[in-house]
A and B are shown apart, each in its own frame.
Chain A
Amino acid sequence: MDYINKYASIQSIIHRRDPRVKVIAFVIFVVFIVLTKTESFTAFAFYGILIFTLILMSRIPIKYVIKRSITIIPFVLFIAIFIPFLKEGRILWSYPVGSMKLTITYEGLMMFWNVIIKACLSALCMIILTASTGFFQLLKALEGLKIPRIIVMIFSFMHRYFFILQEELMMMKRAKESRSVNGRRWQHIKALANILGVLFIKSYERGEAVYLAMCSRGFDGSIRTIEHPRLTNRDVYFVLIIAALLVFSKFLELLI
Chain B
Amino acid sequence: MAKKVIEIKNLSYSYPDGTPALKSIDLDVSEGDTLGIVGPNGAGKSTLLLHLNGILRGNGNIKVLDSEVSEKKLKHIRSKVGMVFQDPDNQLFMPTVFEDVAFGPLNYGLPPEEVRYRVRDALKAVEMSGFEDRVPHHLSFGEKKRVSLATILSMSPDIILLDEPTSNLDPRGRRKVIEVIGNLKVTKIIATHDLEMALELCERGVILDSGRIIADGQMLDILKNKDLLEAHGLEVPYSLR
Write out the residue numbers on chain B whose beta carbons fall within 8 Å of the beta carbon of A157.
93
Write out the residue numbers on chain A whose beta carbons fall within 8 Å of the beta carbon of B75.
218, 220
Q: From A39-47, A111-119, A205-213, give the one contacting chain B.
A: A205-213
Q: Does B182 contact A (CB under 8 A)?
A: no
Contact A163 B137 (CB under 8 A): yes
Q: How far is the CA of A220 from the CA of B54 in the complex (A)?
A: 14
Q: From B24-32, B97-105, B169-177, B199-207, give the one contacting chain A.
A: B97-105
Q: Mark A155-175, 1 if CB is under 8 A from B, else 0.
A: 011011101100000000000
Contact A218 B55 (CB under 8 A): no
Contact B95 A136 (CB under 8 A): yes
Interface residues of A in 27-76 (CB under 8 A from B): none
Interface residues of A in 206-231 (CB under 8 A from B): 206, 209-210, 212-220, 224-227
Beyond A136-B135, A160-B136, whether A217 also contacts B93 by CB under 8 A is: no
Write out the residue numbers on chain B whose beta carbons fall within 8 Å of the beta carbon of A218.
75, 78-79, 104, 107-108, 155
From A161, A210, A217, A226, contact of B107 by CB (8 A):
A217
Beyond A160-B137, A226-B115, whether A215 also contacts B90 by CB under 8 A is: no
Q: Does A104 contact B (CB under 8 A)?
A: no
Interface residues of A in 137-163 (CB under 8 A from B): 139, 156-157, 159-161, 163
Q: Does A135 contact B (CB under 8 A)?
A: yes
Closest residue of A by beta carbon distance from B96 = A136
The main secondary structure of chain A at its interface with chain B is helix
Write out the residue numbers on chain A whose beta carbons fall within 8 Å of the beta carbon of B89.
161, 164, 206
Write out the residue numbers on chain B whose beta carbons fall within 8 Å of the beta carbon of A212.
50, 55, 85, 90
Write out the residue numbers on chain B whose beta carbons fall within 8 Å of the beta carbon of A216.
53, 55, 78, 82-83, 85
Q: State the total of A-B contacts with C-beta under 8 angstroms.
A: 78
With both chains docked as a complex, state the minimum distance between the C-beta of B150 and any C-beta of chain A, in angstroms: 12
Q: How far is the CA of A2 from the CA of B135 in the complex (A)?
A: 10
Q: Mark A78-120, 1 if CB is under 8 A from B, else 0.
A: 0000000000000000000000000000000000000000000
Write out the residue numbers on chain B whose beta carbons fall within 8 Å of the beta carbon of A139.
95
Contact A219 B107 (CB under 8 A): yes
Q: How far is the CA of A227 from the CA of B50 in the complex (A)?
A: 33
Write out the residue numbers on chain A whose beta carbons fall within 8 Å of the beta carbon of B116.
226
Taking A156-B94, A209-B85, A225-B106 as given, write out 6 further A-B residue pairs in contact, using a Cβ cutoff of 8 Å, ordered by the A residue number: A161-B89, A213-B93, A216-B83, A220-B107, A226-B102, A227-B112
Which B residues form the contact surface with A (CB < 8 A)? 50, 53, 55, 75, 78-79, 82-83, 85, 87, 89-96, 99, 102-104, 106-109, 112, 115-116, 135-137, 151-152, 155
- Please list 24 pairs of residues, one from A and one from B, whose beta carbons are closer than 8 Å in the complex, sorted by A's number: A2-B137, A135-B95, A139-B95, A156-B94, A159-B95, A160-B92, A160-B137, A161-B93, A164-B137, A212-B55, A213-B83, A213-B93, A214-B93, A216-B85, A217-B152, A217-B155, A218-B79, A218-B107, A218-B108, A219-B103, A220-B107, A224-B109, A225-B99, A226-B106
